[in-house]
């Protein structure tokens, strides 16, 4: 199985195509800087998004290198789900002529996914769908007043007709009228579902100096704490490095196996899922408007014995 990477944010995808044309939900005061408000699009958050975040953190953020017989070279990273035959054909530089791995090398493996209700992020409550079908609900991200539709209701309420049918508009000297029909646009997304994803990073080197060079950033990059932040497609995931770095070296063996230093690093990521992936039949981003007025059609025929809208009395049945 090959790790499939998501499309870039600039490309049109399922989540990206559902974003609104503008994000001017915040009304900035006059004189504000143009950089006060930044537009950030949001894609759906899936398990693959979390996989990509830890992979890009290793490749781009840490960007580890080690001293080899070819100089200070970058350490290759392998995703463990790929089969050996695919690895050999995909990147010939990872193996020698005898199909053995060229050290040093790092590998990533997703070991478990736990949906623990006791380990959540900032959104704690569970919301049910308004459709009452047992599915999860949505969380509101932003609201704004739809000015054009609200203005139409205000104008209609401020326009009166006298007995002869002459239209009378509101003037400053007349009584003020309060418009209670406010049309509000609401932007919502599905509530996040928190999961704990655990990964095992294995470092294999031929010399102890290479192991020290690669292992040191994992310990010193986070400082006195063991947590850091992963970013992908506008999402933030909190990751925790376990305090134990397990060594499984074979340097004390007198066999004919290749000499190898190996260290396992376990990382737990507090991630979240937004949407149900490719099988989701609901949109990621949805814009709705509230109901301010209910109109019922008026029947032309009145009740028996009463006049209809044309002034004709209806005959009793």
Q: Where are the domains of the chain?
A: 45-121+192-274, 139-189
Higher pLDDT, 289 or 17: 289
The whole-number pLDDT of residue 134 equals: 86
Convert the pLDDT of each residue in 242-285 to its tens digit.
999 988 887 776 666 777 899 999 999 999 999 888 888 888 88
Assess whether pLDDT exceeds 90 at residue 311. no
Phi, psi of 47 (to 5 degrees): -65, -35
Tell how strand 77-79 and strand 105-114 pair up: parallel
- Give the domain 45-121+192-274 fold: STM4215-like (3.30.2000)
Judge whether 150 and 161 are in contact, CB under 8 Å. Answer: no
Is the whole-model pTM more than 0.85? no
Assess whether pLDDT exceeds 50 at residue 8. no
Assess whether pLDDT exceeds 80 at residue 290. yes
């Amino acid at each position: 199985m090959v790790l499939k990477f998501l499309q870039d944010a600039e490309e049109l995808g399922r989540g990206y195509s559902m974003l609104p044309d503008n994000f001017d939900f915040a009304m900035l005061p006059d004189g504000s800087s143009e950089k006060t408000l930044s537009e950030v699009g949001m894609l759906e958050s899936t398990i693959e998004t979390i996989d990509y975040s830890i992979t890009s953190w290793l490749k781009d953020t840490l960007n580890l290198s080690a001293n080899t017989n070819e100089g200070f070279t970058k350490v290759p990273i392998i995703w463990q789900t790929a089969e050996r035959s695919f690895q050999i054909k995909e990147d010939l530089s990872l193996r020698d002529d005898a199909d053995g791995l060229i050290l040093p090398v790092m590998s990533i493996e997703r070991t478990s996914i736990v949906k623990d209700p006791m380990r959540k992020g900032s959104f704690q409550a569970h919301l049910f769908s308004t459709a009452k079908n047992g599915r999860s609900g949505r969380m509101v991200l932003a609201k704004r007043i739809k000015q054009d539709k609200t203005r139409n209701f205000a104008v209609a309420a401020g326009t009166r007709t006298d007995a002869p049918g002459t239209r009378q508009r509101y003037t400053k000297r007349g009584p003020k009228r309060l418009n209670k029909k406010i049309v509000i646009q609401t932007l919502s997304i599905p509530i996040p579902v928190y999961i704990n994803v655990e990964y095992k990073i294995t470092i294999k080197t031929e010399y102890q100096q290479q192991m020290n060079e690669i292992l040191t950033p994992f310990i010193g990059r986070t400082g006195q704490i063991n947590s850091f932040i992963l970013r992908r497609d506008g999402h933030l995931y909190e990751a925790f490095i376990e305090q134990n770095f397990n060594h499984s070296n074979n340097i004390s063996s007198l066999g004919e196996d290749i000499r190898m230093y190996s260290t396992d690093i376990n990382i737990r990521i507090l991630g979240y899922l937004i949407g149900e992936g490719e099988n989701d039949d609901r949109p990621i981003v949805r814009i709705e408007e509230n109901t301010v007025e209910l109109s019922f059609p008026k029947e032309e025929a009145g009740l028996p014995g009463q006049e209809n809208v044309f002034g004709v009395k209806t005959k009793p049945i």
